[in-house]
Chains A and B, each alone.
Chain A
Amino acid sequence: MTLSGRGLFRLAAVLLILAAAWAFVPRFGTESNLINLLRQACLLALIAAGVSLSMLVAGLDLSIGSVAALSSCLAASLIVQGHAVLGVVAGLAGGALGGMLNGFMIAKLKIPFFIMTFSMMFIIRGLAMTYTQGTSIHGFPPSFTWLGKSFLGPIPMPVILAAAVLGLLHLLLTKTTFGRITYAVGANADAARFSGLAVDRTLIQVYALSGCLASLAGLVYIARLNAADADLGMLWPLEGIAVAVIGGIAFSGGEGNILGLVLGGIVMAVVGNCVNLLGLPARFQDFFIGFVIILVVLVDHIIQSRSKAVK
């Protein structure tokens, strides 16, 4: 996939934002801040990976934050007992299971995705809250916290993880049959069905993968915080959508490159980082995220309609 006009536009916009932040925000360019920024950007890209997959099939997974919360809390209670590997596996499996349920209901029972995943957002959050009873689970062994806290050379572990996951996803989407079908389903599900592609199965797989990626992000997050609670990831669907939209994943499905999430992650991390460095309270972030979503969608629409008019 070559860098199209829109891709170049995005890259230029991101560089511009970085340059502006570097120039105008004090302490932005320090090494520790940049590493912090990179870690934050990668976590955001991980959070957005699941949402992006569902967007590629012209759907949307609003339940990722809740799925991450429940599966991390379940995993956490295993991990504090010393079963780090078992906990991680159980967490990922739990996420995949939740996603699979989404996919099954959407594909087989034809429930509109926003009704299904919106309901699941509340159902699973409710289960997570009930499970933890409002307490937080903390005190993980180092065999688990390295996921979020350790470094490989100067590079934080979440960055390496995110790079690996996004790289694998990119390969999966561009080099395998599964990837081709995913894009085909997103571009036109009916056409894909009539060409004999297993649309339903692909939808279920995509949503399962989305849930699994959400729990991975949740696990990295709790490993970094060294604590898990049921409030985790309330805003993740919103942040994930923002990152994906900035990264160039189209809401209409079938279009977008998963590596674009890195750009999206950087933009959102810079926004959050500057809000912090400028001494604005964290509550400004919600506002900016919502604003950025609407803004990017608008700009995108204008560019697209221009390029269509040229053709």
Chain B
Amino acid sequence: MPSLAARLRVAFSGPIIICLGMIVLFSLLSENFFSLSNAVNIIRQASVLALVAFGQTFVILLAGIDLSVGAVMGLASCVTAFLMLKAQMAPVLAALAGLGVATVCGLVNGLVHSLLGLNPFVPTFGMWGMALGAALILTEERVLTGFPETLRVLHDGELLGLPAPLLLVAVALLVLHGFLKATPYGIATYAIGGNEGAARLSGIRVTLHKTLVYTFCGFMAGVAGILFLARSNAAQAIDTIGYEFDSIAAVAVGGTSLMGGRGGVAQTLIGVTLIATLRNGLNMVGVNLYLQMVFIGLALILAYVAESQGLHQLLGSLRRRVAGAPASPTEA
């Protein structure tokens, strides 16, 4: 059993070093980057991403993927805003309804995926279209504003001097980390991602478990959507499109294996910090949103390559290829 320090070093070294390097780089490039107010700003920005990425982490631990989360977040926030605005519903009830809708989206994803044994990007990409379409229909492609500001406390509130979103993320992290590492259900999640057939043979109810995990991912997308609504105080169907991408990138960059079975929410928090710092820093330096997409996409691909092959192995195989040595016939 390796010591705690050694395990921490193995789990976090790469992403943390990159993150620190970025902080140094952006501090040199922009004079406003390294300040307390900007750090708080990054934390607030990162909190929405953290929540949705926690849900995505569970799905990816199963060796799955959920491409629908961005659209589901939008749907949850639009439903909440719509109910507050058009049905005069109490904000808390409206938020619960939004959460419910998001959870149902996740449930449908899980059922279609686990019952049919289909690769999860099919149903979740279909759900992306449905949720986006439903949100566009509901809002008539407009921005919904002018509802009561009760929910803002989720984003603007403070407790003991700490921003509310930070507390929300901290609580979610502790609960989910404990759940993953210390309960049979958490362990089952790793087992299914590591080897689904073996998990099934050892008596884990794989179909049920997968369905529940996708449902949970939908639920977390709902929570993130409502926090997003609390931040922007306006709901628009397409505002959250892109979170599917950032969340997958955050999970992968943090070091959770896209092949399932390895990683966790703590790693994801590091990945989220990295992506949020990257976005914030690029903003400060004046790189537009579109080029930010390019950088994050490259980060996602690199994270995968680094994780699956090891960069030294990759360089080695390239060198061999350049040198003209025949590729081994069993490479698979």
Contacts and interface: CB of A to CB of B under 8 A. Distances in A.
Interface stretch (A21-29, A76-84, A126-134, A138-146): A126-134
Interface residues of A, number: 42
B118 A251 contact: yes
Contacts of B133: 283-290
A127 B308 CA distance: 27
A251 B314 CA distance: 30
Q: Which of the listed residues B129, B242, B300 has the most CB atoms from chain A within 10 Å of its own CB? A: B129
A238 B68 CA distance: 12
A238 B294 contact: no
A126 B119 contact: no
Given A115-B301, A293-B129, A126 B258 contact: no
A123 B137 contact: no
Contact of B130 (A60, A116, A130, A294): A294
B305 A111 contact: yes
Contacts of B67: 118
A105 B304 CA distance: 11
Contacts of B137: 281, 283-284, 287
Q: Which of the listed residues A109, A127, A193 has the most CB atoms from chain B within 10 Å of its own CB? A: A109
Given A122-B296, A284-B133, A287-B133, A297 B116 contact: yes
B65 interface: yes
A120 interface: yes
Contacts of B140: 281, 283
Nearest to A305: B116
A129 B290 CA distance: 6
Contacts of A110: 308-309
B298 interface: yes
A105 B301 contact: yes
B66 to A, nearest CB: 11
Overall SS of chain B's interface: helix
A112 B123 contact: no
A291 interface: yes
A125 B136 CA distance: 22
Contacts of A287: 129-130, 132-134, 136-137
B297 A122 contact: yes
B58 interface: no
A107 B210 CA distance: 29
B112 A294 contact: yes
Contacts, number: 132
Contacts of B214: none
A197 to B, nearest CB: 12
Interface string B122-136: 110111111111101
B248 interface: yes
Interface string B274-306: 000000000000001111111011101100110
A251 B65 CA distance: 16
Interface in A223-276: 235, 237-238, 241, 251
A126 B294 contact: yes
Q: Which of the listed residues B126, B127, B242, B288 has the most CB atoms from chain A within 10 Å of its own CB? A: B126
Nearest to A241: B125
Given A283-B137, A290-B133, A293-B129, A118 B248 contact: yes
Contacts of A301: 116, 118
Nearest to B246: A122
Contacts of A251: 118-119, 122
Contact of B293 (A109, A125, A288): A125
Given A115-B258, A129-B290, A293-B129, 7 more contacts: A110-B308, A111-B301, A120-B297, A122-B293, A125-B293, A126-B293, A238-B129
The 8 closest A-B pairs by CB, nearest first: A287-B133, A290-B129, A286-B133, A290-B130, A126-B293, A129-B290, A123-B297, A293-B126
Interface of A: 60, 62, 105, 109-112, 114-116, 118-120, 122-123, 125-127, 129-130, 190, 193, 235, 237-238, 241, 251, 281, 283-291, 293-294, 297-298, 301
